[in-house]
Amino acid sequence: MTVDIAELVRTRTRHPEAVAEAAARRIRRPLLGDSGRLMIVAADHPARGALGVGGRSLAMANRADLLERLCLALSRPGVDGVLATADILDDLLLLGALDDKVVMGSMNRGGLQGASFELDDRFTGHRPEDIQRLRFDAGKLLLRVDYDDPGSLTTLESTARAVDEMAARRLPVFVEPFISGRTPEGRVANDLSAEAVTRSIAIASGLGGTSAYTWLKVPVTDNPDDMAEVMATSTLPAVLLGGEVGEDQDGAYEKWRGALQLPTVQGLVVGRSLLYPADGDVAAAVDTAVGLL
């Protein structure tokens, strides 16, 4: 599919209500389809200023290219839906690419990559009322906890209230927790050891007044053999996140394959690894990931 940026701009300029109209007529589906599994393509990175893929610092900055990759991914059999911020979801609505797809709104993108306030990850994206109004299917939020950064407490409290507000609307919310810290250079890094991921799951599972609508979005640990013990920390349903693009994509697939056998793991939410694979073949990368399910 070729995206006509000029046409999108024309619609946004002359008929901005077209976004709400497209959302109102979108054909919806259950969160889980017949397979009982979930395959979601993620594209919420740009709103946090995280535009890099591999060695290309601005790979995700070309919006037409990103939209074309997303439309291709969404067209592949077995892909259930997309996770993105409002600007991208609005474009996809206008392109008619979201019918019969699960649509997840990204809720907090205020922790800009590289900022001094990165761990004070404010809710600058979709609010629960926006997700309900637009008839989207779920929300997702990022929860990075740094025991040495007071900004994490603000994020923690805001996350708990977002869990409450989503549950009040009977909308699923996917919480992506990490134990994080700053490197000597000041960069925020996530700890993927079994102990840290276990602790992050325990913290995320207990947020809010009910966990009935809470899902977890978790990484595979540094040692994939630890995942069975790690995932035993909670009974909440979970999806695996894809992480950064690497040269050893086959190795990443094998990590996912093993963890997908665990009883709480219901699927995958993967972004850059599939949209910007090392060999450039988006369709093949998506099909391989779907095959793991």
Given the DSSP bridges, would you call strands 138-145 and 173-182 parallel, antiparallel or unpaired? parallel
- For the cut 70, the answer to whether the pLDDT of residue 247 exceeds it is no
Q: What is the pLDDT of residues 189-237, one digit of tens each?
A: 999 999 999 999 999 999 999 999 999 999 999 999 999 999 999 999 9
pLDDT on residue 158:
97
**Residue 127 burial class via C-beta count within 10 angstroms: exposed 0-12, middle 13-18, buried 19 and up:** middle
pLDDT on residue 183:
94
Q: For the chain, give every domain's residue range.
A: 5-292
What residues are paired with 270 via a beta bridge?
41
What the block records as the tokens of 120 is 């004070």
Q: Are 139 and 173 in contact (CB under 8 A)?
A: yes
Q: What is the pLDDT of residues 162-188, one digit of tens each?
A: 999 999 999 999 999 999 999 999 999
Compute the distance between CA of residue 135 and CA of residue 37 in angstroms, rounded to an integer: 21
Range 31-60 average pLDDT:
91
Q: Residues in the chain, how many?
A: 293
Fold for 5-292, please state it.
TIM Barrel (3.20.20)
